[in-house]
Amino acid sequence: MFAKLFKIAVASAVAVGVMGTPLPQSNKLAARWMSFDNWGGFSSMNGFDNFYGAENFCGHIQSQTIIEQQQEVVCHSQSIEIIQQRLLVLQEMAKRIISEQICEVETQTIVFEQFYSSLGDFSGDLSRKSGRHVGYDSNIVSHFGSLQNSDGSLSSNDLGFSGSDCGSSTIVPSGSNWSDESSPISVGNAYNAAQSAITSFPSSS
């Protein structure tokens, strides 16, 4: 078992402004070392650990390097349905990749749990409890259009990055109405309201 410190690097590629407040350190320091390379003897699990590292199943241990843009990225609110449509596209695309590009059901399961857990970390970012900024890796996002070939089939070329690269080109949009005074409570209330609305299906447990 390793306990690694999760540090946040802040670098400014373009000095156009002063970065905001200093970052709190994360509490989520410990990770379980668990190798899934060739898990269960499945050849489709060969090299699984190379992506994030064996002690980093869900990509928790990740540093963020903030890159500043010539032109600041600012959030612009859209109507909720527009947002929900786009997130559903991402969700169904993830299902498509897992069900079309993996045939072994055990590998489908492990890869999905990795994805779900890694995405779930964003919850701690939104509540400002993780120590990470609320943003995204612009280099990873730039591959969005490369998931499909021109005929609509799924692409299978190497996109040229590893899981551990995620965070190294982070963009943090400004303009959210987060307030250190009131938002911890109001965001906590919002989180609890959402959690209480999440019903679990018997088949999903």
Ligand X SMILES: *[C@@H]1O[C@H](CO)[C@@H](O)[C@H](O)[C@H]1NC(C)=O
Q: Write out the residues near ligand X by the rule CB under 6 A.
A: 177, 179, 182-183
Query: For residue 3, which phi and psi values (nearest 5 degrees)?
Result: -120, 115
- Which residues does 33 contact at the CB level (< 8 Å), separation at least 6? 1, 2, 54, 55
Question: Which residues are CB-neighbours of 84 under 8 A, at least 6 positions away?
Answer: none
Which of residues 81 and 181 has its CB atom nearest to ligand X in the complex? 181
Closest distance of CB 179 from ligand X, Å: 3
> Look-up: residue for tokens 């070329």?
157
Comparing CB distances to ligand X, the nearer of 156 and 177 is: 177
Give 21 or 177: the residue with its C-beta nearer to ligand X: 177
**Minimum Å distance from CB 78 to ligand X?**
15
Position with the least CB separation from ligand X: 179
**Identity of the residue, 149 or 182, whose beta carbon is nearer to ligand X in the bound complex:** 182
CA distance 35 to 50: 10
Distances (CA, A) of 72 to 7, 15, 63, 68, 186: 24, 12, 21, 7, 27
**Minimal distance, residue 181 CB to ligand X, in Å:** 8
Report the nearest approach of ligand X to the CB of residue 75 (Å). Answer: 12
Q: How many CA atoms lie within 13 A of 146 on its CB side?
A: 10
Least Å from the CB of residue 189 to ligand X: 11
Question: 86: helix, coil or strand?
Answer: helix
The neighbour count for residue 132, using CB atoms within 10 Å, is 24
Is the CB of 164 or the CB of 183 nearer to ligand X? Answer: 183
